[in-house]
């Protein structure tokens, strides 16, 4: 969601469906990347590589964190978006948002004319 159009892009409205995820990457992908970084760090320091048990214990909290914090309910509880909507109500909500957006005043432009 935020990788495609988050608050950084200054949208007027931002809703989520209940089956969406808020994270840019999934928990397994993040755990793989962080495990690789940790293994490389141990290699540079001259330590032995992590065995499978250490890898699993290293990955478990990462997977748990991504599962909890990637939920649309986690983000909407922190007011990072405008709410979780029922997919069946998407057309109605989209219509209301377009109507509200078209009736809001347009700000003055703060840039000059681009000459080409």
Residue ranges per structural domain of the chain = 1-22+73-97, 25-69
**Residue 81 pLDDT exceeds 70:** yes
* Model pTM score: 0.70
Over the stretch 12-29, which tens digit does the pLDDT of each residue have?
A: 899 999 999 888 888 999
In the prediction, which pLDDT does 28 show?
Answer: 94
Distance of CA 79 to the CA centre of its chain: 13
Quote the crossing angle between the two packed helices 27-44 and 52-69, to the nearest 10°.
140
Mean per-residue pLDDT for 52-64? 96
Instruction: Characterize 22-47 residue by residue with b for buried, 16 or more Cβ atoms within 10 angstroms of its Cβ, and e for exposed.
Output: bbeeebeebbeeebeebbeeeeeeee
Instruction: Look at residue 4 and tell me whether its pLDDT is greater than 70.
Output: no
Q: How much is the pLDDT for 31?
A: 96
pLDDT, position 3: 62
Strand partners, 16: 84
């Amino acid at each position: 969601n935020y990788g495609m159009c988050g608050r950084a892009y200054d949208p007027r409205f931002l809703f989520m469906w209940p089956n969406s995820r808020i994270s840019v990457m999934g928990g397994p992908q993040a755990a793989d990347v962080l495990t690789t970084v940790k293994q490389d760090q141990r290699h540079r320091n001259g330590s032995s590589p992590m065995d499978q048990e250490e890898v699993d214990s290293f990955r478990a909290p990462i997977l748990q964190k991504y599962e909890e914090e990637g939920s649309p309910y986690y983000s909407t509880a922190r007011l990072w978006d405008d709410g979780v909507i029922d997919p069946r109500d998407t057309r109605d909500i989209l219509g209301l948002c377009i109507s509200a957006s078209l009736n809001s005043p347009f700000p003055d432009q703060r840039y000059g004319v681009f000459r080409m």
